Structure 1
Amino acid sequence: MTTLLHRISHPAPSPTFPSPVALGLCAASFTALLIWTSVRTSFNSDSPRSIPSPASSQIPELPEDQIKSLPYPPNALPGSRHVDSPYGRTRVYEWGPENGPRILLIHGISTPSIALADLAHRLVAEGYRVLLFDLFGRGYSSAPCSQAHRYDSALYMSQILLCIQSSPVPWPSFTIIGYSLGGAIAADFTSYLPNLVEGLVLVASGGLIRTKHISWKSRILYSTAGFIPESLIKRLVTRRLWTGPQAARSIEPEPDLSAVSSNPDEPRAGGLRSHAVYTSSQLRLLPGNDYSTVSNVVDWQILHHKGFVPAFISSIRYAPIHNQHHRWKVLAENISTKAGKLREVWLVLGETDPIIIADEMVEDAKAILGDNLKLKIVKGAAHEVAIDSASEIVEIIKTLQ
């Protein structure tokens, strides 16, 4: 699921939009500012700035037959490239018609970009050009050291802008589909840069999760007060995320078993204390690859990406998952004042999602966005709605044109 940001002044409303060239220059300047702000604290440190991904730590040592059997092989999606930055390297995938409408997809907190593989392929088949990337600390992207960098709004905004500007084709404006944590990041990003985003689809999105759902165990575990040594926190979180060969369990964030009732008539717990984030952790992510299940991919990251668990922990702490009403209000204000091209926000929810409680999310989002909120609740779907209901999301995208 999904988490992040701090403050930058609201853009001045104006009915006249800047040219694509001006937008590009502004985005480049904004990227440079974010990078400098985030990395300046680590210049005097002797510790490495980032933890390498399996692309350099595992893949070079594996024979071809073992690479093919990975749950997330390096050639999983077309159009792959690496984007270098002061934070480390980001794995990016981009393909589709060069003149097609642009769509950026942002995945959730634990499963990298291949979680949205089916959705991306369906969009390309409809004529769209898509760009996906692995968030820092996931998949084949490096992990900025969490001691020097918070996994917060500034970090993720910088990563998005770096990925877009690395494209061989221009991205003057685009639609964002954000899933879980990716939805929280997408809403946050759009609130700061409304001129870049012309469509926004938030799928099982974080951002407005009510803090009442955070159990006391989670509050202690993810506290930054130093009550628990970081090494112990990493071990505990790893234990909660680990699937193993036989278990079928929650993937995101961590279950609080004491909060789960066996009575189906009782309201779902919601938030970070939910027990079953994915109805089935055996969902297959890549066609023709039986190894590529949600649980296998998470376990593979735990085993082979040393930055995965620290990135997960820091995202829970600092990403814009909870109480982002202030940024969503800016989003609503930008729409009403026509500060950019965005005119509505689509919210796609799973009817039985135990993390993003549909009734709560609709109530809170509607109170902020009003008539600018468009809603789709997928019957029978849980938190994996972006994985197993891709066709319904594509139909929404087609209405945006």
Structure 2
Amino acid sequence: MSSEDSSMKPPTPTRHSSSGGSRQHQRRCHITYVFFVLPPLCLVLYFALLAAPPPIPALPLEVHGGFDELPESVGVERVYPQDWLGEGGWAVFPFGRTRYWLTGPEDGLKVVLIHGLSVPALIYAPLIPHLLLSPNTTSSSPSKGFRILTYDLPARGYSSSLPESYHHDPALYTTHLALLLQHVGWPATHAVVGSSMGGAVAAAFAAAFPHLIEADGSVVLLASAGLLTAGDLPRTAKLVASPVVQTLLSAVFLPVYSAYTRRFGAGSADPLPRFDLRGLVDDGELRESVDPAPLGGLVKVQAAQLPGFNAAVSSSLRFGPVRGMEWAFEGLGRIGRRVLVVHGTKDRTVPPAHAQRIAELVRKGAEQLRMELQDSVPSNSSSSSSSPTPSQSWFRNLPLPLPFSRTSSSASANDKTQNTQVRVVMIPDAGDVLTWTHAGVVGRVVRGWLEGGDGEGVEPQTKSGEEGV
């Protein structure tokens, strides 16, 4: 072969270039497999998991305990003893145990006290002596005194927590109270009193279970939450309420922090200011004001020592009755119970303007009911027509829950619109712990209202009265 022929031959590819092209081709094939095979595989796995039935948990549910399960070295008993209001009792429900206390004459008017987001039942310790005064025999309708029921909400204080997958929403809190009333043997209560988030719980309970509040009963809202917006919440609360942060807190940070505090002693009750909680209730002294410093420290102890506390608080901020509760306050106007709204003028947690907004919602609910009753009254010609069919009569007798109220022109329904009364009382210089800092004035206002009065107890210029609606 000549040299010219050999020069005409194409160059033979080297082994290096051939292997490089092969690897690039393999990479492209792998990427193709990922994009075309992985999505269907994920879908198959997803539907397979959906098809598999979840395990059914046994009752009672496995839950975290409360203060009673902490070691004595933590020192909670020196700050918040179990017998601070007498022996009390335990109510065992499918979702855990609830610690409650009863005090006052057994034949007295029944009153339930509901605490707020983070501080347990001792938030009412300075207020209770004012409610347990000797009955007022000088009023037109003398009272027998009050039989008081107070308790720790789930995951607060001595009550056990719920599994972290359960939402701390209005349905939970209202059903929990209904079960507790059944446990203590109360067919109904004369009044429900709620502080902060507990005020929204009280409103939701009354709207959802109106038959569990006596017809001449009351709902008392102290610095009530329920209308908070995202702008009202501090940045820390918004962050904690985030689902991503909740997952990280429950799975990583909180277990590590709890282990640290148990090992090195942080989060104990030792650094808290010591005070005699039993004496606060039993010594017979009516205090106008009590230093609330121990309350913040007790919240820190709960956060450090109770495994379910932080999850309950974050769940309550996200799903609970701190916002979006307009329906509950309107419901108060539809059930015909007297409503007292007490708020501090310097509340930094719930804006003082919310007190008037709550009252407006109560009036709105009463007005809506009045209009429905007017629309449902038949004309003279229609009233002389045939009587309702048996099926219609059966439907009218159904105990329909709110907000589906009966359209009836009965006298009892008209009485609701006539008897509904809402009053707003603003406490000067009071903040969000007004049951401690202003126990005296709040006690007089609440006691007077529960005895059938009009909320007297503060100077006229600091009180905003509202006529019946």
TM-score range, shorter chain: 0.5 to 0.7
Question: Structure 2 CA distance, aligned partners of 1:47 and 1:130?
Answer: 28
Q: Structure 1 pair 141/292, CA: closer, same or farther in 2 (3 Å)? A: farther
Question: Structure 1 CA distance, aligned partners of 2:59 and 2:126?
Answer: 42
The one-character-per-residue Cα deviations of 1:238-279 (angstroms, maximum 9, x if unpaired) are 99xx9979xx9xxxxxxxxxxxxxxxxxxxxxxxxxxxxxxx
Structure with greater Cα Rg: 2
Amino acid of the residue matched to residue 123 of structure 1? L
Q: Does 1:143 align with 2:144?
A: no
| 1:62 alignment partner in structure 2 | 72
Q: Does 1:76 align with 2:84?
A: yes
Q: 1:176 aligns with which of 172, 192, 203?
A: 192
| 2:23 alignment partner in structure 1 | none
Question: Structure 2 CA distance, aligned partners of 1:288 and 1:399?
Answer: 26
Amino acid of the residue matched to residue 62 of structure 1? E
Which residues in structure 2 correspond to 1:300-311 (within 5 Å)? 300-311=301-312
Contact 2:130 2:440 in 1 (8 A): yes
| 1:399 alignment partner in structure 2 | 449
Amino acid of the residue matched to residue 308 of structure 2? G
Structure 1 residues without counterparts, runs of 5 or longer? 1-40, 249-280, 336-341
Amino acid of the residue matched to residue 146 of structure 2? Y
Shift of 1:390: 2.6
Shift of 1:186: 0.5
Amino acid of the residue matched to residue 346 of structure 2? T
Q: Structure 1 pair 355/292, CA: closer, same or farther in 2 (3 Å)? A: closer
Which residues in structure 2 correspond to 1:258-273 (within 5 Å)? none
Q: 2:211 aligns with which of 184, 195, 200?
A: 195
| 2:318 alignment partner in structure 1 | 317
Shift of 1:47: 11
Contact 1:365 1:373 in 2 (8 A): no
Shift of 1:84: 0.3
Shift of 1:282: 6.6
Contact 2:153 2:159 in 1 (8 A): yes
Q: Structure 1 pair 81/129, CA: closer, same or farther in 2 (3 Å)? A: same
Q: Structure 1 pair 106/176, CA: closer, same or farther in 2 (3 Å)? A: same
Shift of 1:232: 6.7
Shift of 1:173: 2.8
Q: Structure 1 pair 234/286, CA: closer, same or farther in 2 (3 Å)? A: farther
Q: Does 1:356 align with 2:350?
A: yes
| 2:174 alignment partner in structure 1 | 157
Shift of 1:48: 5.5
Shift of 1:162: 2.2
Amino acid of the residue matched to residue 347 of structure 2? D
Q: Structure 1 pair 182/284, CA: closer, same or farther in 2 (3 Å)? A: farther
Contact 1:286 1:292 in 2 (8 A): no
Q: Structure 1 pair 234/112, CA: closer, same or farther in 2 (3 Å)? A: farther
Contact 2:226 2:325 in 1 (8 A): yes
Q: Does 1:286 align with 2:277?
A: yes
Contact 1:284 1:294 in 2 (8 A): no
Amino acid of the residue matched to residue 400 of structure 1? L
The one-character-per-residue Cα deviations of 1:184-240 (angstroms, maximum 9, x if unpaired) are 10011111112222111100111112333246664454123x47743379848x99x
Shift of 1:141: 0.3
- TM-score, structure 2 normalization: 0.59
Amino acid of the residue matched to residue 72 of structure 2? L
Which residues in structure 2 correspond to 1:1-400 (within 5 Å)? 43-44=56-57, 49-55=62-68, 57-58=69-70, 61-62=71-72, 70-126=78-134, 127-147=145-165, 149-167=166-184, 170-197=186-213, 198-214=217-233, 218-224=237-243, 226=244, 229-231=247-249, 235=253, 286=277, 293-335=294-336, 342=337, 344-359=338-353, 361-370=354-363, 372-395=421-444, 396-400=446-450
Shift of 1:386: 1.8
Amino acid of the residue matched to residue 422 of structure 2? L
Question: Structure 2 CA distance, aligned partners of 1:372 and 1:133?
Answer: 28
Shift of 1:161: 1.7
Q: Secondary structure at the match of 1:73?
A: coil
Contact 2:292 2:436 in 1 (8 A): no
Q: Secondary structure at the match of 1:185?
A: helix
Amino acid of the residue matched to residue 300 of structure 2? D
Question: Structure 1 CA distance, aligned partners of 2:183 and 2:279?
Answer: 30
| 2:382 alignment partner in structure 1 | none
Shift of 1:303: 3.1
- TM-score, structure 1 normalization: 0.68
Contact 1:83 1:89 in 2 (8 A): yes
Q: Secondary structure at the match of 2:343?
A: strand
Q: Secondary structure at the match of 2:331?
A: helix
Contact 2:240 2:314 in 1 (8 A): no
Q: Which has the higher contact order (CA 8 A, sep 6+)?
A: 1
Amino acid of the residue matched to residue 167 of structure 2? R
How many aligned positions are there? 310
The one-character-per-residue Cα deviations of 1:338-362 (angstroms, maximum 9, x if unpaired) are xxxx1x2111101100111112x13
Q: Structure 1 pair 391/46, CA: closer, same or farther in 2 (3 Å)? A: closer
Question: Structure 1 CA distance, aligned partners of 2:327 and 2:123?
Answer: 29
Shift of 1:44: 3.9
The one-character-per-residue Cα deviations of 1:1-31 (angstroms, maximum 9, x if unpaired) are xxxxxxxxxxxxxxxxxxxxxxxxxxxxxxx
Q: Secondary structure at the match of 2:425?
A: strand
The one-character-per-residue Cα deviations of 1:92-119 (angstroms, maximum 9, x if unpaired) are 1012111001110001111110111122
Amino acid of the residue matched to residue 141 of structure 1? S
Q: Structure 1 pair 118/217, CA: closer, same or farther in 2 (3 Å)? A: closer
The one-character-per-residue Cα deviations of 1:365-397 (angstroms, maximum 9, x if unpaired) are 232123832011111111111222233233233
Identity across the alignment (%): 25
